[in-house]
Structure 1
Amino acid sequence: MAILKVLQLTDLHILPHTGDKMLGIDTEQYFQETLAHAHATHGQFDLILLTGDLGQDPSTDSYRRICRHLQTYQTPCLCLPGNHDDWELMETELNAGVVSCRKHLLLKSWQIIALNSQKPGSPAGFVSQEELAFLQQTLSTNDMPALLAIHHHCVTSRSSWMDTMQIENGAELLAVAARFPQIKAITCGHLHQEMQTSHKQIAIFATPASCFQFKPFATEFELDTQAPGYRVFELYDDGNLQSRCYRVPISMNGLQTNEHSY
């Protein structure tokens, strides 16, 4: 049975200038190392999926550098925005060659649907009626197995401080998704940690960041010392899937774990 391999990277937090550091680490260097480790370990992918917070204080140059790093691998890349991103700038700078901000991609026997969960002026997520209508229209006209990608989480993570920043109308999103059996999974970023749960027939995943991690089950901002990570999906022709997270074997030396915000 044929397998599609999808690499999910999330929460890059690339800074405006090369060499800039955040919480003591070079997020761009960690992004490059995460990309390299994923390809060295798993070979070529059919798709690289980037689920938001690509930029921290985003700029034209930071998005262009991300685009150059991605184009090295000559693999289709799908980019969607997080709460730190400038979506308009992303659409301008991350639409070149294999890199795009498309919202719907057909990949052999699967469809990949990307939603925007940005809520202007807020770190929390919200799925607009326009996005929900797009989702319903897309699913009503295509019954291929679907992987839905979004930045914010739509179910609680049991990290109470992060759950104040989840999708505010997550129940509405799940209600729409549950009406369409072709949705097999929803995957997100934002949490800077791994999560796997389910809602009815839908598997729900969160993926570690390619930079620093947040401590699971924390009640307030707290950094974890786990290394950068990524998620690999194996999508099968019959609509089944398997997914697993991997960590880059590097030390988090320099991470400023005593910080209380970023």
Structure 2
Amino acid sequence: MPSYPASRIETPDDHLNILQITDLHLSTPVVMDANENDILLDDMACQQSFENVLKQALQEDIRCDLIVVTGDLVNKVKATIYDHIFETLQATRIPFACIAGNHDVTDENDKDLPFFQRELVARPADTRLLSRHIIETDYWQLLLLDSSIAGKVAGEITSTDIDWLCKRLSTCDKPALIALHHHIIPVESDWIDTHMAKNTERFWQHMQSFEHLQVVISGHIHQEQVKYRHGVTVYSTPSTCYQFKPHKDDFSYDENALPGYRWLQLANNGTVASWVERLDT
């Protein structure tokens, strides 16, 4: 069984097939009582959806070389939930890596209240979640960042993160992919764009010097989008559970959008193919 975290991947054809899943929002099992039916059903739905997404993706006619989980693994920061997620991923026998999202370092109290009235409580990240982590192949480098801020919904690419990226991209000229949780280009939804990663303009100013930076992948927005900046393709990926309506200034669920996941095929000549699949109904 591959050791965690993945740090070196070799494939039989020198191409790398990545399965990206994000925003699992799993909760520990709860005991049902008369007042918790809706909460229980929501918790069970996210759990079942995660398992179904993983099963469907790995039954497709494509070899999976690496699974990258881009944050919000949990809805409540508890070690037992991470234990279950890591056991499930390890059972695939496929190398994988996980980074933190805002829900991995922040608990929301009073969820029955409107969002702006809830108490946000800072929590330490699970030690298995990665920060400034490198995964290499013979032809690619994957650079994983922790964009979360404890006690906050928004994220940040820190000056230290940018310095680390610049050093790595300066010393290794392989085509590069960056993975983080928070989005780094506005997605034309005011409510979620207030919670994107901070310091992104400084990030882009530094990244435009590196032509071999090809791709950025993220989660957080619970929808599929593709953006471009400075020759970099920026992919946002649907949640394995519930989705948000795109291009809405106020918070809104997209009841018609199914759970999803993203495939990325990184070729040995530096080209990229990527697409989103949705869970079969």
Band the TM-score falls in, shorter-chain normalisation? 0.7 to 0.9
Question: Cα offset for 1:240?
Answer: 0.7
Does the alignment pair 1:203 with 2:233?
Answer: yes
The equivalent position to 1:123 in structure 2, one of 139, 153, 174, is 153
**RMSD, aligned CA:** 1.9
Question: Cα offset for 1:21?
Answer: 3.7
SS of the residue 1:213 aligns to: coil
- The answer for the alignment partner of 2:94 in structure 1 is 75
SS of the residue 1:41 aligns to: coil
- Aligned residues of 1:16 and 1:58 also touching (Cα < 8 A): no
Does the alignment pair 1:90 with 2:126?
Answer: yes
- The answer for the alignment partner of 1:260 in structure 2 is none
Question: Cα offset for 1:89?
Answer: 4.3
Does the alignment pair 1:7 with 2:19?
Answer: yes
Q: Deviations over 1:69-103 (max 9, x none)?
A: 101111111111101103854224x6xxxxx7671
Q: Which amino acid aligns with 1:49?
A: V
- The answer for the alignment partner of 1:253 in structure 2 is none
Higher Rg: 2
Question: Cα offset for 1:141?
Answer: 1.3
SS of the residue 2:197 aligns to: coil
Question: Cα offset for 1:158?
Answer: 1.0
Alignment of 1:175-190 (within 5 A): 175-190=205-220
Q: Which amino acid aligns with 1:246?
A: E
- Aligned residues of 1:6 and 1:46 also touching (Cα < 8 A): yes
Deviates more, 1:193-202 or 1:111-120: 111-120
The equivalent position to 2:83 in structure 1, one of 64, 70, 73, is 64
> How many matched pairs?
244
SS of the residue 2:69 aligns to: strand
Q: Which amino acid aligns with 2:222?
A: H
Alignment of 1:111-190 (within 5 A): 111-190=141-220
- The answer for the alignment partner of 1:236 in structure 2 is 267
Relative to structure 1, is the Cα distance of residues 117 and 102 closer, same or farther in structure 2, using a 3 angstrom cutoff?
A: closer
Q: TM-score, normalised by structure 2?
A: 0.82
Q: Percent identity over the alignment?
A: 32
Deviates more, 1:184-193 or 1:40-49: 40-49
- Aligned residues of 2:131 and 2:146 also touching (Cα < 8 A): no
Q: Which amino acid aligns with 1:200?
A: H
Relative to structure 1, is the Cα distance of residues 198 and 21 closer, same or farther in structure 2, using a 3 angstrom cutoff?
A: farther
Q: Which amino acid aligns with 1:148?
A: I
Q: TM-score, normalised by structure 1?
A: 0.87
- Aligned residues of 2:14 and 2:138 also touching (Cα < 8 A): no
The equivalent position to 1:224 in structure 2, one of 254, 272, 280, is 254
Q: Deviations over 1:45-68 (max 9, x none)?
A: 111011000111121100000001
Q: Deviations over 1:17-70 (max 9, x none)?
A: 378747475211111110111111144311101100011112110000000110
